[in-house]
Amino acid sequence: MLRTMSAVSTPVQAVPPRHSAFVRTTHWITALCFFALLLSGVEILISHPRFYWGETGNSLSTPLFQIPIPSSRGTVPTGYGYTLPDQNGWSRYLHFQAAWAAVLTGVAYVLWGLWTGHFRSNLFPDPRERNWSALRDVLAKHLRLRRPTEEESQSYNALQRIAYLAVIFGLFPLVIWTGLALSPAFNAAFPVGVNALGGRQSARTLHFFVSVFLVLFLLVHLAMIVLAGFVSRMKAMITGAATVSRERI
**What does the mean pLDDT of the chain come to?**
82
Summarised one tens digit per residue, pLDDT across range 5-24 is 444 444 444 556 677 889 99
- What digits encode the pLDDT tens for the residues 210-235? 999 999 999 988 988 887 788 888 88
C-alpha to C-alpha distance for 135 and 140, rounded to whole angstroms: 9
The residue ranges of DSSP E strands in the chain, in sequence order, are 8-9, 50-51, 65-66, 247-248
* pLDDT surpassing 80 at residue 32: yes
- The count of other CB atoms within 10 Å of the CB of residue 58 is 12
Could you tell me the pLDDT band of residue 36, with boundaries at 50, 70 and 90? very high
Least confident of 54-58, 82-86, 134-138, 183-187: 134-138
Q: How many CB atoms lie within 10 A of CB 181?
A: 25
Residue type, 249: I
pLDDT in tens, 147-172: 555 555 555 667 778 889 999 999 99
Distance CA 56, CA 62 (A): 11
The three-class DSSP label of residue 126 is coil
For the chain, the domains span 125-241
What span, in angstroms and rounded, lies between the C-alpha atoms of 220 and 134?
21
